[in-house]
Structure 1
Amino acid sequence: MRVSIATAPGGANPNEDWVAATPTLAVVLDGLSTAGLDTGCRHGVPWYVAQLGGHLMAALAEPGRPLADGLAQALDQVAALHPGCDLGNPGTPSATVSILRAGAEHFDYLVLADSPIVFERADNYQVVTDLRVDTVVPELRAETERFATGTLEHSEAVRRMVKAQRLTRNTLDGYWVAASTGEAAHHAVTGAVPLADVRAAAVLSDGVSRLVTEYRAASWADAFAMLREAGADGLISAVRKVEATDPDGLRWPRFKSGDDAAVAFCRMP
């Protein structure tokens, strides 16, 4: 593959997204917001995603290794790096994970939570994502949409939602993300797509995919055209331009005025 990558913070805080790629592998991580709540960890989300990303790339250096096995190993290795932290805290640093790997005949993919992988075919687009988090505490999610982004009321509503979500995180009745044990890797969405069917693919954090899925300011065809014409940075810039027209989240209710963004654009030679 020819892979171009980009990532950018959504505001003044450190970027909690992470992206890396090789000619056969693309990985995007999106660290979960803490909403100012305790995590039991002294390191923080940016540290966590950087450590998980590096260990994950190393774990998948063996081409035939199942993606879930590599992720499970990386999760256990990162947990071993900070045994002094309270890894049983429901808010322990965590992240979405999306992995795309090109083999001899197939793309293998793994998606854990809501950072999608989009495959461009000759006549359609296939979106692979994991939206189980959207089924959790929907009434509290709806409450966050009543207030303008950046207000005290909005921040408090988001904090209540995140606190409740944490109680269902990595449980059979809730949703799964990369956190402190390898178990979550085996609850990811996995599969394979024939290489011959794919013209290009995009691995995205939801800070980018929302241009299509939430804002509906572009189609997937538009997004892939932007990627070809302006690159990964150009697609992130397009998201920012749309968000600038609605800084208070009144047209498109959201948790932050601008979210961290990460893209890996993979083109077939």
Structure 2
Amino acid sequence: MYVSVATEPGGAAPNEDWVGGTQSLAIVLDGLSTAGLDTGCRHGVPWYVAQLGGHVMAALATPARSLTDGLAEALEKVARLHPECDLRNPGTPSATVAILRERPEHFDHLVLADSPIVLEGTDGITVLTDLRVDDVCQDLRVETEQFQTGTPEHRASVARLVAAQRKIRNTPEGYWVAAATPEAASHALTGTVDAVDVRSAAVMSDGVSRLVTEYRMATWETLLTQLRDSGPAALIRTIREVEATDPHGQRWPRYKAGDDAAVAFCSFA
């Protein structure tokens, strides 16, 4: 498997996405926004995703280990790195997770929250994602979309939404993300597909997938074609050009004018 990667912050703030790849792994993490609220952690989201990404890759260096077990081990080890922080805080740094692993004759995949994996196969496109977060706090989401991006009203609305999401994050009544406890790994969506059915694949944060799902300025087929022809960095530049046409989120309501973006494109000989 040949993996090419790119990531870029959505603005002046540090990048809270993380991407990594090897000859058999492609991993994307999308750090969750804190909206300026307390996290109980002195390190921050960029530190968290960098630590978690490295530990996930190390845990999955053994091909026989399941993706779920590897993620659980990584979550436990990262928690041990900062015991002085309040890891019980509902806003403790957290992230979505998307993993694709090549093994002889098949691919394993894991998604935890809304960073998708897109498979191009002999029968078309398959999108693997976890959209449980879309089922919660819908009234606050609608409220946030009423305001122009970047206004004080919009920032206050995003903070209310994030505060409400935190109360049900990593609970049976809410949705699951990677945070401070290994339990979240058992709630990821996992599966296996035959290698002969996969021609290419892309693992991405929602800062990339929104080009298709929210902006509707591409299809999955054209997105994969651009990745194949021009590479991940060029795709992210395209997303920035699209976002620049709607800087205040009036055509496409969103939390930020530009979201952090990360993508790993997987091709095969």
Q: State TM-score, norm by structure 1.
A: 0.99
Q: State how 1:1-269 maps to structure 2 within 5 Å.
A: 1-269=1-269
Residues 37-70 of structure 1 deviation map (CA, whole Å, 9 limit, x = unaligned): 0000000000000000111100000011000000
Q: How far is 1:233 from its partner?
A: 0.5
Q: How far is 1:123 from its partner?
A: 3.9
Residues 118-170 of structure 1 deviation map (CA, whole Å, 9 limit, x = unaligned): 00013410000000001111000000000000000000000000000000000
Partner of 2:168, secondary structure, is coil
| Cα distance in 1, alignment partners of residues 182 and 105 from structure 2 | 28
| Cα distance in 2, alignment partners of residues 153 and 245 from structure 1 | 22
The range that moved more, 6-15 or 236-245, is 236-245
| Cα distance in 2, alignment partners of residues 244 and 85 from structure 1 | 38
Q: How far is 1:268 from its partner?
A: 1.2
% identical equivalent positions: 69
> Which one-letter code corresponds to 1:215 in the other structure?
Y
| Cα distance in 1, alignment partners of residues 117 and 124 from structure 2 | 14
Partner of 2:90, secondary structure, is coil
| Cα distance in 1, alignment partners of residues 220 and 47 from structure 2 | 32
Residues 196-242 of structure 1 deviation map (CA, whole Å, 9 limit, x = unaligned): 00100000000000000111100011101110111000111111111
> Which one-letter code corresponds to 2:158 in the other structure?
V
| Cα distance in 2, alignment partners of residues 224 and 133 from structure 1 | 25
> Which one-letter code corresponds to 1:195 in the other structure?
A
| Cα distance in 2, alignment partners of residues 213 and 116 from structure 1 | 11
Q: State TM-score, norm by structure 2.
A: 0.99
| Cα distance in 2, alignment partners of residues 198 and 69 from structure 1 | 24
| Cα distance in 2, alignment partners of residues 70 and 183 from structure 1 | 12
> Which one-letter code corresponds to 2:145 in the other structure?
E
| Cα distance in 1, alignment partners of residues 194 and 40 from structure 2 | 43
Contiguous gaps of at least 5 residues in structure 1: none
RMSD across aligned C-alpha pairs, in angstroms?
Answer: 0.5
